[in-house]
Structure 1
Amino acid sequence: MAMAKIRQGSGNGGPVQFRHRMEGLTSLVDGHRHSFGNLTDLFIPEDGRHRHTFRGITTTADGHRHSYSGRTGLNIGTGPNHFHRFRIQTNVADGHRHIISGRTTGLIRLGVMVGHRLIIEKVVRQRVK
């Protein structure tokens, strides 16, 4: 069986976005934790600084999962290496909540490609051993 490896060109895509990655484990409640991971959403300017909104769904543990949403704290530092702290409670599931807390990564750059502008330069077939 052969697999196709696709190399993408630098088409004339949409705008570049800058976000922060958030990931970690929830607090321990009822003998279990959940993993979470998401990117920040909206940029909210505030008195010469800023914060971001975020939302996500935890992994399943003990037969359930939790959704969550909130705002980060104000930026700490400036430029591409700044970060944000966050601490919120998840929504209730299976009769309880967890706390999600930590700090974001520095900025990550996302290039947004519009589907019809994706350029496939080359397809290489490789054998799977």
Structure 2
Amino acid sequence: MEIPVSGFMYHSDGSDYMHSHQLLITQWDGIPVPAHVHELRGVTSFDVGHNHTYAGTTEPAPSGVPHTHRYFTFTTVDDRHRHEIRGVTGPAIQLPNGGHYHEFSGFTTVNGANPHRHSYGGRTSL
């Protein structure tokens, strides 16, 4: 029995040595599989005399099933440098109205004339 499936592949972050790409299924047996994204934004920790702001959008993930989202963005340029922010959100936290959000946290890449990193964290948009 063959079931037609469609979707798209995107590059993996390399954390799984068995796979180099991820697959997001957008249609299963002719039925659309809804996907969604979330916005994330915030301010990093204050380190080495400054902090940075950041904003971005998560990668798509399927709707209606347990899931996480990967994210990648850059901070603003402050003190003549910027940092990368990347990671995977926590699982969906359901809200009484049927929506959900994800928590995220981590550390930026090391950068700057005085090499350092910042912590960051928060909640995605609904």
- Report the TM-score when normalising by structure 2: 0.64
**Structure 1 residue 52 corresponds to structure 2 residue 76:** no
Deviation at 1:42, TM superposition (A): 4.0
Distance in 1 (alpha carbons) for counterparts of 2:99 and 2:42: 19
Structure with bigger strand share is 1
User: 1:8-87 residue pairs with structure 2 within 5 A?
Assistant: 18-43=36-61, 49-77=66-94, 81-87=99-105
Retained in 1: the 8 A contact 2:36–2:62? Answer: no
**Structure 1 residue 104 corresponds to structure 2 residue 116:** no
Superposed CA RMSD in Å reads 2.3
Q: Deviations over 1:1-20 (max 9, x none)?
A: xxxxxxxxxxxxxxx85210
- Report the TM-score when normalising by structure 1: 0.63
Q: Which structure has the larger Rg over C-alpha atoms?
A: 1
Change (3 A) 1:100 1:90: same
Question: What count of residue pairs does the alignment treat as equivalent?
Answer: 90
Q: Which has the higher contact order (CA 8 A, sep 6+)?
A: 1
Structure 2 unpaired stretches of 5+: 1-33
Change (3 A) 1:80 1:34: farther
Percent of residue pairs identical: 35
Structure with bigger helix share is 1
